[in-house]
């Protein structure tokens, strides 16, 4: 399938499985009359494969070592991208950032790294399922920077176009999205 065909098919899956109308309160606290819940798309076999394919394509020109982001939205994305990158012979490892470090065990904020692994000096892409203001991705980026990594970019699957681009620019984080909310609202 061509990239354009993959993108069109994924948009159809998102529209069917993950997009809806009706008043909701977003993670940012804002009210909205539409929503994206990307979990049904991320956990659908075809949806997961297409998200990984299109994200991997978007990262192809970047020299990145790791991909990950804030739990829960980034976990299925990072895992699918890591698997596809391995199958394509250009491995990109995955991790995730806890919203709050566990109070037991290793008490880590960044999970998924082996004992001898570190993000220090590594180029990392923060992935997110849906972005509104950018607060969740910025929180993940801060934790990753504290680990010594360089943030190559923040890449979201759907940008709600409600201020994230400005937030990321102010934080010095390059930002890209696979889709914009207007693509679904105006369809």
Say how far apart CA 70 and CA 17 lie, in whole Å.
22
Q: Is 135 annotated as a binding residue?
A: yes
pLDDT value of residue 29: 79
* 139 annotated binding-site participant: no
Assigned CATH for 3-185:
3.40.50.2020
Contacts of residue 185, Cβ cutoff 8 Å, sequence gap at least 6? 34
Are 163 and 181 in contact by the 8 Å Cβ rule? The answer is: no
**Token couple for 40:** 């049904």
Query: Per the annotation, does 2 bind a ligand?
Result: no
28 labeled binding residue: no
Provide the 8-state DSSP code for 23.
E
Each residue's pLDDT tens digit, 137-173: 999 999 999 999 999 999 999 999 999 999 999 999 9
HEC profile of 94-129: EEEECCCCCCCCCCCCEECCCCCCCCCCCEEEEEEE
Cα-Cα-Cα-Cα torsion 161, 149, 96, 107, nearest 10 degrees, comes to: -130
Q: Is 69 annotated to bind ligand? A: no
Sites in the chain below the pLDDT cut of 70: 1, 101-107, 187
25 is annotated as contributing to ligand binding: no
Asked if 96 contacts 80 with a C-beta cutoff of 8 angstroms, the reply is no
Q: What is the pLDDT of residue 102?
A: 66
Predicted pLDDT at 131:
92
41 is in an annotated binding site: no
Does the predicted TM-score (pTM) go above 0.85? Answer: yes
Q: Is 133 annotated as a binding residue?
A: yes
Question: Has 166 been labeled as part of a binding site?
Answer: no
Give the C-alpha separation, 53 to 129, whole Å. 15
Q: How far is the C-alpha of 56 from the C-alpha of 72, rounded, in Å?
A: 20
Tokens representing residue 104 in the block: 């037991």
130 is in an annotated binding site: yes
State residue 105's pLDDT score: 64
């Amino acid at each position: 399938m061509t990239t354009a065909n993959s993108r069109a098919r994924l948009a159809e899956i998102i529209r069917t499985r993950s997009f809806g109308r009706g008043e909701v309160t977003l993670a940012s606290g804002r009210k909205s009359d539409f929503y994206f819940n990307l979990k049904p798309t991320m956990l659908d076999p075809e949806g997961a494969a297409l998200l990984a394919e299109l994200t991997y394509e978007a990262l192809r020109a970047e020299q990145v070592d790791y991909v990950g982001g804030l739990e829960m939205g980034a976990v299925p994305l990072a895992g699918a991208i890591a698997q596809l990158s391995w199958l394509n012979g250009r491995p990109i490892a995955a991790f995730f950032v806890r919203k709050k470090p566990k109070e037991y065990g290793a008490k880590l904020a960044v999970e998924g790294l082996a004992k001898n692994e570190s993000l220090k000096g590594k180029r990392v892409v923060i992935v997110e399922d849906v972005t509104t203001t950018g607060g969740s991705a910025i929180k993940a980026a801060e934790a990753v920077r504290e680990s010594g990594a360089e943030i190559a970019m923040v890449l979201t699957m759907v940008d709600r176009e409600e201020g994230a681009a400005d937030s990321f620019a102010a934080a010095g984080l390059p930002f890209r999205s696979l889709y914009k909310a207007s693509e679904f609202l105006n369809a």
